[in-house]
Amino acid sequence: MQKLSTFDLVPGMILAEDVLNFDRQTILSKGTELTDVLISRIELNGVLSVYIEEDSAPEKPDIFDLEPLEKPEGYGPAPQTPRRDVPPPPPGSNAEYAPSHPSYSERIRSSQEFKDFKKTFDTATENFKFQLNEMIENTAAVDTGELIKAPLKLIEQSGSGSNTFDMIHNMRDYDDLTYAHSMNVALLNYVSASWLGWNEADREMAMACGMLHDIGKLQVSHAILTKPGKLDPVEYKHIQKHPLYGYKILKEKDFDEHILNTALMHHERYDGSGYPLQLSGQSIDKFARLTAISDVYEAMTAARVYRGPLCPFRVIEIFEEEGFEKYDAEYVLTFLSNVGATYVRNACELSDGREAEIIMLNKEKLSRPVVQCGYDYIDLMQHPDLSIDKLL
């Protein structure tokens, strides 16, 4: 049995002990084989380390011991796996069509709109990085209105909330640095506030809160933030102080109270299981409650060392199973239902490898919509063995 940081977990490892949350409730049982979704569930509950069976940790081969491979006969690109033939629709069928290529994501990435958005995003992120470092190093004041000009331009460019999600989702190869992450959270906050019917002043405040929520990480050692191996207890405590660091930085600059509170409270949870103050319910600033959801969603749909970015429907599933007690119910339900609606008519890949198209959401279980696969319609609520693995 060995203790590992959550950041070092990989699919296939076997839990040697039960994993408990802050309330000492069992999240996962001893003997469970980890998957990417289960690892994300552990992250979502704020668990910092777990015990795994030693013999379940994959060993990395020594590259100096590897024998060179001989080129087999017919060496060259592997033949492409033939696509499944879609049977012709039966006489009188009203089936619309089977998903076609290029995929929705490919069309977005090749569009001029996406290229313009990414260019503006890259420039805005670099400017944001400069502004924050200037503020910390030279005690320069920051005008909140100036700070959100660039992300407001990105919102204007994207034209709608669903389009903003499309842009962000298709930039997931972007290095997930603190600055890019904060820019994405700011955009998600603005869109989420719009879905909740907040007025323009509150939407812009939500955006500013998202941009500055992680500023405390600039006071955390870069070596700790980028450490590839597990963190020791002292390093964990250092990282968990970043909300306090952020609050102190912003308080010295006389920022709005909501911005201060969001920096301090974005890791608090509605059920009192968060940190650093273990606040609960309405005692958490509403902008911090909103930012907590955007923060987790953005982090989970970004790449990790052990996996690529999680599919939004996987993240919705984790929120459904774990998040309703930890987050403001109105905020998280509004967020998830709108995220799901964003991807209706999007091509996807099911867990059995088949391609399908998302046709309609199930309000009772947003993570399990109705999909069209070839000429068949499949209600994932009725097929617990199937799920959406990725968007295409």
Which residue did the predictor score with more confidence, 206 or 391?
206
Phi, psi at 371, each rounded to 5°: -125, 155
Structural contact between residues 54 and 2, judged by C-beta atoms closer than 8 angstroms: yes
Please give the Cα distance from 251 to 255 (Å, whole number).
Answer: 6
Q: Residue 44: its pLDDT value, please?
A: 67
- According to the per-residue pLDDT averaged within each range, which of 27-31, 89-93, 168-172, 281-285 is highest? 281-285
pTM across the whole model: 0.74
Q: Residue 63: its pLDDT value, please?
A: 28
* Share above pLDDT 70 across residues of the chain, in percent, rounded to a whole number: 78
Please give the Cα distance from 353 to 295 (Å, whole number).
Answer: 30
- Mean pLDDT, rounded, of the chain: 80
Q: What is the mean pLDDT of residues 130-135?
A: 81
Q: Which region, left, alpha or beta, applies to residue 303 given φ > 0 means left and ψ of -120 to 50 means alpha?
A: beta
Question: Which residue's structure tokens are 């191996």?
Answer: 229
Q: How many helices (H) and strands (E) does the chain have?
A: 15, 9
Low-confidence winner among 39-53, 145-159, 262-276, 367-381 (lowest mean pLDDT): 39-53
Q: Is the pLDDT of residue 48 over 70?
A: no
Q: Is the pLDDT of residue 387 over 70?
A: yes
- According to the per-residue pLDDT averaged within each range, which of 78-82, 95-99, 107-111 is highest? 107-111
Q: How confident is the model at residue 76 (pLDDT cuts 50, 70, 90)?
A: very low
Dihedral angle of Cα 277, 211, 316, 283, to the nearest 10 degrees:
30
List, for residues 321-333, the tens digit of each pLDDT value: 876 789 999 999 9
Please tell me whether residue 356 adopts helix, strand or coil conformation. Answer: strand
Q: Residue 136: its pLDDT value, please?
A: 76
Our CA angle for 244, 246, 251, nearest 5°, is 95
Q: Residue 22: its pLDDT value, please?
A: 52
Question: Which residue's structure tokens are 């799901």?
Answer: 340
Q: Is the pLDDT of residue 152 over 60?
A: yes
Q: Is the pLDDT of residue 88 over 80?
A: no
Q: How confident is the model at residue 163 (pLDDT cuts 50, 70, 90)?
A: confident
Specify the DSSP element, H or E, that contains 328.
Answer: none
Q: What is the mean pLDDT of residues 41-46?
A: 71
Please give the Cα distance from 266 to 289 (Å, whole number).
Answer: 7
Spell out the domains of the chain, with CATH numbers in brackets: 2-56 (3.90.105.10), 108-310 (1.10.3210.10)
Q: Residue 37: its pLDDT value, please?
A: 72
Q: Residue 142: its pLDDT value, please?
A: 75
Q: How confident is the model at residue 167 (pLDDT cuts 50, 70, 90)?
A: confident
Q: Residue 141: its pLDDT value, please?
A: 67
List, for residues 234-282, the tens digit of each pLDDT value: 887 888 889 999 999 898 888 999 999 999 999 999 999 898 999 999 9
